[in-house]
Structure formats: structure tokens, C-alpha cells
């Protein structure tokens, strides 16, 4: 006999029930719902039926049903539940499915559903997005670099995604908002909750100008384990992850690891090796598979969306002397600065035949680097740098 | 007819003559001397004979012979000329010969001879050596890190080799000396000259406690081109090159490139991306083939001489909670801090069966992380960190 459906029998109520019944990031649950559909899976598990591994995951929540209450509570808090099939469901395109299949025990499973607060369109924001994450106990250096990176990326139309925490996360969100661009905070608690409390005004502003996302139903508490599960979501929804500052042990590094698991670019901002808050990024750079970035151009280069964004080739200011062939350089070096010399002496100093020195000198004269005075040569005043 | 020998006809005079006649780092010269011997090559070129390419390199110096004068001048300045065959000639082992053959146009040719000031044994110092180079216009950060790195490496018996310049070079030499260890400065001018002048006292001290090296004869001036030629020598003589700070265009980066050409480890110390003096190391890290280092242990790990030096595995301080399996962690997270809860409520919060929660709780109690009071559980006071 088919068990009775949960809530009002709708697909949305089924997803609401599932989001409370089992902690997100559960591979078997995701696979089973993908195969059987949310309505049937919720009904089975609610009735104490279905695969044993999922029954065990539901645990003490079997038989309870807060789905309709959660949906109403969400509505009152201007939170909506996005589910597969909704027009603004981000879709599976962002989440490399081959990784989901291949990674076995890793928790890189896509979300079942997403509780969303804010009016923006999730798919269009995520289409061009970057995760910028880092230490809560950030330094002024880290905050300055975060602000610079996030503001410039936001100005170039890249949506900055972070975790809404103190420190680097908050700096990234604030920079995007200060650039007048939407930003997304992915939370480890209900989208109606302000955590950390001190970021309440910031989170409110994000919900007005961007989006707050959560896999947990309204009211859910930010429990320790949920941050790691949430981190995979930050990595999975974005085109790449930038870690600005991180201690050796850090949640930001877990986000970076999930990005790598998902085959997405992982970036780290180097910092002083004397700073504990840059020890994590140094370890990332040393471990390999991580790109050092110092500018928005570097980040755009790594996520490689559009050709125009490619980081410009970097070179210091070029000096004409550096462009010369070695023989001409040797002659230039042999030309005195003050007291002018005859070409024969200069050839001797440069260890060249006089004919070669004459040829080189004509090039230098054309470039305005040397001047002749009664058959004797000296450097012109404009370039007196040695070495 | 065989041309008359230069100087006093000795091999040393021939090398002395060659070191003045042709700029060092000349591939064809090195190959020809290796094949024909210094005495014959010097005699030929002095007489205006020999391969045309070498005659052209000798240029206006043909016919002049300062070899004996240079050797005397060296002696007066406590400088000696090391040549192949001398017991303290560093030998070819340090310089990967296959690279010399393979690199074509690159200037990674070994030295013909070396003018040396100081009493130390060059081969024994170089047997365990590292190049630490960087910007002349260094920052306090770069100098601090250089001092830390160089002092610790010197204390561990690694000879610090640098270029005797202002900034990072000087900081590296000073750190080694302050650790009571010899250091080597490889100069782009005669080993009897103090360049830069302001480093005269430092260079004198290096010559007493370490070595000054040069490919150029006494009195030779530090001409622009010579620094690049000298840089290949720093890279070639050492087990690896560390760049501490460098602008985008920098001599230190040329040293690093030569180290890479020679198949030796290239290392860069990350710095603030906001610092122009760390732009060069950032570019090196971004280009790849370069190891980020922040400590002497990292450097020793890269040059990999002895197992004891290997960098310790790095991890942050471990907390007992981090070692728990996910289910036990979930239960721990669900245990209240202040008002104790019955196991059934905790199981519901943790989304677990009561039997699983009971099992997990017994682990937590054994670890002293939770305490029970009249059948209700709370966290012990010792760990109140959230997340």
C-alpha cells in the first residue's frame, strides 16, 4: 500500500519535509530522490519505509511533519523554497555530474532544494560567479585585498559568493554591495536567521540587493557540521574559489578542496609568510593545484570566461637599453658618463673589435643614448642608471 | 709556427689573460678552452689567431697582455685565481653538464676560472649551499624574512650565497655572518673592488669569514651586462635559488631563470600582493615551476639534501571534536551548552535514531566532552567553541 503523502501532498512540501528530515549533502538521499521523486521518497520515509540507510538518516524525525509549517514560516520571512523544475532552479549545469558519480565518499553531492531569501534570479547570478572566502579572524591586509578583488570583480559583472561570516566573507560581500552589485551569501543556518548576529544588517542588505541561500529550513541552527556541508555548496555553485586569508586549519580551505574535487579552479592570495592568517594560503600554494592570484585580472584569467578579461601580460617598464643586442649593450656600458672617450678605448673596454664598436655606437647614437663630442663619446644625460 | 705563450707561460697566466680578454659566460670560449687547453688558446688569441668568433670576442684586446700584472695585483689584494685542476676548484659536478650542452643560446656556461678573496674552501662551502637573492630596494618585510631564512639555513650548515648588493643580498650575507657562518658573495666586478661602495665593510667581513668570488680580473668594473652573467654563476654554483622580494623586472628573477635552466629548484617567498617588491615573486609563482617557501624547512625540503631536514608535516592544532566520526560530531553539536536535554531531543536535533545517539553520547562522555545530569545531557564547560 502506498503511504500517504507528507504536508499538502505537493512536490514543494515533499522537498520541505526532506530538507528537515535528513541533513543535506547526503549522497544516497540525493540519488534516491533523483530516481524516485521527492513526493514518493518523503512519503516512504515519513511512514518509516524506504531504504534502511535513509531510514537511519531520518532517525528520530520519522513520523513528524513540519513541511507546511516550514513553508508558511518561510513565506512570512520572505524566504522561498527553490526546487528542481522551478524556472529559477540553478540546474545541474553548474555542478559537474561526473564528479558526483566519481567521487564516492566525498560530500560533493548537489543540493536537493534551496531556501532562498531575496528577489534576484539565482541562475543568472550564478552564471558568472566566484567564491571569495577566507578567515573570520582576518587582518587589515586580507580585508584590503578582499575589498579590491571583490569590488573589481563585481564591477565586471561577476557575482561574489561567500559565506556571510566575519572577516574575509563580510569584506567580500560588502565590497560587492559597495560596487552596487548583488552578492550571494550561502548560509549554514536557516535563510531567515542572522548568523553571526553582528552581521544582521549586512545579511539584510544582501537579501535586499542579492540573495541569501540555505539548504536548511527556516529556523535551522548553524551547527558545526553544517559549515562543512555548506562549504561544498559555495564551491559547487561558483566558477572557482579564491581563498584570501586562511589559517592552517580553516573552513576556507575545505571550500577550496571541494572546488578542486569538482574540477573547478582553486586560487589563493599570497600574503606575508610571517602572518598566521596567510599560513593556509602558503600551504595551498605549496601543495600545488592552486593558482596564486593578486588581482581581479588574475581571477578572471583563471575562470577564463571571456577573452577580454584575460590578465594582461605583465612586464616591468622596458628600457631601450634592454632591447639592445649584447654587443651594443656592451658598447653602451663601456661609454663613459662624464669624460668622453675615443672609440678605440671604448672598444677595448667592451672587448670588441673597433669596427664592431663603431657599428654599435651608431645604433646607440640613433637611440639618443650616446653623444659625440670632437670624436669622443659619452652617455647622454637622460640615462645614468648603472647596472 | 706555435705562437709564444702569454705571461710567464704558466697555465694560471693563461687563465688570467683569458679572464680579461673575453667577457665570461662565452660558450664558444669555454668549449674551445675545454678542448684545447688554456695555454694554447691564450697564446693563439693573443697572437691574433684561432677561431674567428673568439678573435672577434677578444676584439681590441688582442696583443695586450696584463696577465702577470693581474696576478700580482690580485696577490697584493689577497685575491687568488682558482683554475681547473686546483684542489679547491669547485669542479664540474655542481654544474649540470647536460644543460650546458643542451641549452644552446642560453648563457649557462660554467666559469673558466674564478678570482677568489678569502680563506675558505670553495668546494666544501658549495657542497651544501643555497642562493638567496632579491631586490636591492627591499622592504622591512623582505629583510626580516631574509634574515630569518638565511640565519636558520646557515645555522643548519647551509652556505648562503648571494650577490653582495644592497637590500636582500646584504640581508642574506649579514644573517649568515651573524649566525657565525661563512657566506659567499659572487661579484660582477673584480674581487678586490668594493661595489657597492657602501657595502665595503660587509664585503671585507665576508672575505674574512667567507669568500668573495668573481669571474673578472682585479679592478674590473661592475658594468651593466656583467650582472646578468654573474647571476648565472650564482645559480650554477648553488643547490637552488630562493627569491625573497623582486620587482616585476629584476636581476633576482634572472638568477632564478638560470637556476631553472640548470634544472635546479627555484623558490619564491610570497609577500603581500599589494607590495611592488612582491610583484616579481607573485609572477614567478603564477608562471609555475617555482616552489613557494616561507621557512628554512621549506627550503631544505626543496633542495632535499638530508632526510632530517625535511619540512615537518603542517597541520593546525587538532581538537578532539575534529577526530570524531560525523554521527558523533552531529550528536555533539546537538548537545546544549547550558540547559541539559534528554537523549530523545538530542537525537531529533541531530537527525539520528535514539540508539545511534546513545552510542555516540557514550563516546563523547568518555572524551569528557559532555556530562549527564539526572538523565539530561549538556556540553562540559571546557569546550564552548561553536563551529
pLDDT in tens, B168-217: 999 999 999 999 999 999 999 999 999 999 999 999 999 999 999 999 99
Give the distance from residue B258's alpha carbon to the nearest chain A alpha carbon, in angstroms: 17
For A324, the closest chain B residue by CA position comes to B225
Q: How far apart are CA A252 and CA A278, in angstroms?
A: 12
A229 near B CB under 8 A: no
pLDDT range class, residue B327, cuts 50, 70, 90: confident
pLDDT in tens, B232-279: 999 999 999 999 999 999 999 999 999 998 889 999 999 999 999 999
Measured in angstroms, the CA of B162 and the nearest CA of chain A are apart by 16
Predicted local distance difference test score (pLDDT) of residue B386? 38
pLDDT tier at B315, thresholds 50, 70, 90: very low
- Share of residues in chain A with pLDDT > 70 (%): 89
- Does the pLDDT at position B374 exceed 50? yes
- Mutation for testing the B interface, residue in A23, A24, A109, A272 having most B CBs under 10 Å: A272
What's the rounded mean pLDDT across residues B7-35? 94
Provide, as residue numbers in chain B, all residues whose Cβ is less than 8 Å from the Cβ of A163. Answer: none
The whole-number pLDDT of residue A316 equals 47
What tens digit of pLDDT does each residue of A203-218 get? 999 999 999 999 999 9
Minimal Cα–Cα distance from A354 to chain B, Å?
A: 6
Using CB atoms, pick whichever of B61, B314, B348 lies closest to residue A351. B61
Higher-confidence residue of A233 and B335: namely A233
Scan residues 174-193 of B and list those with Cβ closer than 8 Å to A: none
Class (C level, CATH) for B97-309:
alpha beta
The percentage of chain A sitting over the pLDDT mark of 90, rounded to a whole number, equals: 68
- pLDDT of B311 > 50? The answer is no
**ipTM of the complex in this document:** 0.76
The whole-angstrom separation of Cα B249 and Cα B91 is 32
More confident residue, B55 or A315: B55
**Per-residue confidence (pLDDT) for residue A322, from 0 to 100:** 64
| pLDDT on residue A321 | 67
Nearest residue of A to residue B296 by CA position? A273
Domain ranges of chain A: 11-75, 97-309, 320-379
Residue from the list A145, A222, A357 with its beta carbon closest to the beta carbon of B273: A145
CB–CB contacts below 8 A, A to B: 173
- Segment B100-106 shows an average pLDDT of 50
Q: What integer is the mean pLDDT of A160-173?
A: 98
Q: What is the pLDDT of residue B179?
A: 96
Residue in A with minimal Cα distance to B61: A348
Candidates B48, B133, B224, partner chain A, best to mutate (most A CBs within 10 A): B224
Q: Find chain A residues with C-beta within 8 A of B222's C-beta.
A: 386-387
pLDDT, position B92: 66
Inter-chain CB proximity A314 and B141 less than 8 Å = no
Residue B319 — pLDDT band, cuts 50, 70, 90? low
Which of A286, A315, A329 faces B298 most closely, judged by CB atoms?
A: A286
Share the mean pLDDT of chain B.
88
pLDDT classification of A370: cutoffs 50, 70, 90: confident
Least confident of A126-135, A213-222, A376-385, B297-306: A376-385
Q: What is the rounded average pLDDT of the residues A177-195?
A: 96
The whole-angstrom separation of Cα A61 and Cα B255 is 65
Q: What residues contact A155, with CB distance under 8 A and at least 6 apart?
A: A179, A181
In this predicted structure, which of A135-139, A234-238, B303-307 has the lowest mean pLDDT? Answer: B303-307
Helix A296-303 vs helix A140-155: crossing angle, to nearest 10: 60
Query: How close B171 comes to chain A (CA, Å)?
Result: 17
pLDDT band at residue A323 using 50, 70 and 90 as cut-offs:
low
Distance (Å, whole) CA B149 – CA B44: 48
Residue B52 has pLDDT above 80, yes or no: yes
Each residue of A55-80: pLDDT tens digit? 999 999 999 999 999 999 999 999 99
pLDDT of residue A360: 83
Going by pLDDT thresholds of 50, 70 and 90, the confidence category of residue B362 is confident
* The pLDDT value given to residue B100: 54
How many angstroms separate the CA atoms of A59 and A39, rounded? 19
pLDDT tens-digit map of A144-154? 999 999 999 99
Lowest mean pLDDT, pick from A295-299, A377-381, B27-31, B269-273: A377-381
CB < 8 Å from B in window 282-341 of A: 282-283, 285-286, 291-295, 298, 314-317, 321, 326, 329-330, 332-334
A101-120 pLDDT tens trace: 544 445 688 999 999 999 88
Between CA A134 and CA A278 the distance in angstroms is 10
Q: Do B351 and A295 touch (CB under 8 A)?
A: no
CATH number of B320-379: 1.10.10.10
Q: Which of residues 122-161 of A touch B (CB under 8 A)?
A: 141, 144-145
Residue A40 has pLDDT above 60, yes or no: yes
| Eight-class DSSP state of B269 | -
Distance from CA of B269 to the nearest CA of A (A): 7
Q: What is the pLDDT of residue A167?
A: 97
Answer whether B282 sits within 8 Å of A273, measured CB to CB: no
| DSSP result, A40-79 | HHHHHHHTT-S-HHHHHHHGGGTT---HHHHHHHHHHTTE
Higher pLDDT, B215 or B94: B215
pLDDT of residue B349: 75
Give dist(CA B80, CA B190) in Å, integer: 11
A339 vs B154, more confident: B154
Q: How confident is the model at residue B312 (pLDDT cuts 50, 70, 90)?
A: very low
Long-range contacts of residues B285-291, Cβ cutoff 8 Å, at least 24 apart: B285/A270, B285/A285, B285/A292, B286/A291, B286/A292, B286/A293, B286/A298, B289/B260, B290/B256, B290/B266, B291/A286, B291/B265, B291/B266, B291/B267
Does residue B119 surpass a pLDDT of 70?
yes
A292: nearest CA in chain B?
B286
- Which chain A residues touch B22 with a CB distance below 8 Å? 351
State the pLDDT at residue A379: 85
**B357 vs A185, which has greater pLDDT?**
A185
- Among candidates B130, B127, B33, which has minimal Cα distance to B85? B33
d(C-alpha A210, C-alpha A285), whole Å:
32
State the Cα–Cα distance between residues B186 and A258, nearest whole angstrom: 47
For residue A310, name the pLDDT band (cuts at 50, 70, 90): very low
**Residues 6 or more apart whose Cβ sits within 8 Å of residue B276:** B247, B248
A312 pLDDT higher than 70: no
Q: Is A386 on the interface with B (CB under 8 A)?
A: yes
Smallest Cβ–Cβ distance between A352 and the set B59, B144, B224 belongs to B59
- Cβ–Cβ of A354/B271 closer than 8 Å? no
Facing A273 at nearest CB: one of B145, B291, B347? B145
Residues of chain B with pLDDT > 70, as a percent, come to 89
Looking at residue B130, what DSSP letter applies? E
CA distance A265 to chain B (A): 13
CB contacts of B286 in chain A (<8 Å) are 291-293, 298
Helical H segments across B222-370, by residue range: 224-237, 251-261, 279-287, 296-303, 326-334, 343-350, 354-366
As beta bridge partners, residue B381 has: none
Yes or no, beta carbons of B227 and A295 under 8 Å apart: no
- State the nearest Cα–Cα gap between B64 and chain A, in angstroms: 10
Minimum distance, in Å, between the CA of residue A247 and any CA atom of chain B: 8
Mutate to test the interface with B, among A252, A266, A294, A356 (most CBs of B within 10 A): A294
Closest CA in chain A for residue B55: A353
| Residue in A with minimal Cα distance to B64 | A348
B126-153: pLDDT as tens digits: 999 999 999 999 999 999 999 999 999 9
A positions 260-279 inside 8 Å of B (CB): 269-274, 278-279
pLDDT of residue B332: 85
Amino acid at each position: 500500500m502506498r503511504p500517504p503523502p507528507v504536508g499538502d501532498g505537493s512536490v514543494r512540501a515533499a522537498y520541505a519535509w526532506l530538507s528537515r528530515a535528513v541533513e543535506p549533502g547526503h549522497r544516497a538521499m540525493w540519488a534516491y530522490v533523483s530516481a524516485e521523486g521527492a513526493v514518493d521518497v518523503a512519503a516512504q520515509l515519513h511512514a518509516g519505509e524506504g531504504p534502511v540507510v535513509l531510514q537511519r538518516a531520518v532517525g528520530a524525525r520519522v513520523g513528524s511533519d513540519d513541511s507546511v509549517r516550514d513553508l508558511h514560516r518561510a513565506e512570512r520571512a520572505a524566504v522561498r523554497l527553490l526546487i528542481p523544475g522551478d524556472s529559477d532552479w540553478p540546474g545541474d549545469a553548474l555542478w559537474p555530474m561526473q564528479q558526483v558519480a566519481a567521487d564516492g565518499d566525498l560530500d560533493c553531492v548537489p543540493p536537493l532544494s534551496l531556501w532562498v531569501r531575496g528577489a534576484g534570479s539565482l541562475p543568472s547570478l550564478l552564471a558568472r560567479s566566484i567564491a571569495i572566502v577566507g578567515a573570520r579572524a582576518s587582518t587589515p591586509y586580507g580585508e584590503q585585498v578582499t575589498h579590491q578583488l571583490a569590488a573589481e570583480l563585481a564591477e565586471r559583472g561577476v557575482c561574489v559568493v561567500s559565506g556571510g561570516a566575519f572577516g574575509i566573507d563580510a569584506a567580500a560581500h560588502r565590497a560587492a554591495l559597495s560596487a552596487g552589485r548583488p552578492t550571494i551569501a550561502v548560509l549554514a543556518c536557516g535563510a531567515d536567521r542572522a548568523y553571526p548576529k553582528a552581521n544582521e544588517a549586512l545579511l539584510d542588505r544582501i537579501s535586499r540587493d542579492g540573495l541569501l541561500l540555505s539548504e536548511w529550513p527556516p529556523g535551522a541552527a548553524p551547527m558545526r557540521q553544517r559549515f562543512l556541508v555548506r562549504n561544498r555548496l559555495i564551491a559547487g555553485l561558483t566558477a572557482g574559489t579564491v581563498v584570501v586569508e586562511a589559517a592552517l586549519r580553516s573552513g576556507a580551505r575545505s571550500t577550496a578542496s571541494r572546488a578542486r574535487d569538482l574540477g573547478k579552479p582553486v586560487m589563493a592570495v599570497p600574503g606575508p609568510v610571517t602572518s598566521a592568517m596567510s599560513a593556509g594560503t602558503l600551504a595551498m600554494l605549496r601543495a600545488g593545484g592552486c593558482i596564486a592570484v593578486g588581482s581581479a585580472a588574475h581571477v578572471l584569467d583563471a575562470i577564463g570566461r571571456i577573452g577580454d578579461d584575460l590578465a594582461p601580460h605583465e612586464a616591468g617598464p622596458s628600457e631601450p637599453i634592454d632591447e639592445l643586442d649584447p654587443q651594443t649593450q656592451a658598447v653602451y656600458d663601456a661609454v663613459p658618463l662624464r669624460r668622453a672617450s675615443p672609440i678605440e678605448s671604448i672598444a677595448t673596454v667592451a672587448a670588441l673589435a673597433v669596427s664592431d664598436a663603431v657599428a654599435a655606437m651608431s645604433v646607440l647614437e640613433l637611440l639618443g643614448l650616446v653623444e659625440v663630442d670632437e670624436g669622443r663619446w659619452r652617455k647622454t644625460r637622460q640615462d645614468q642608471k648603472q647596472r
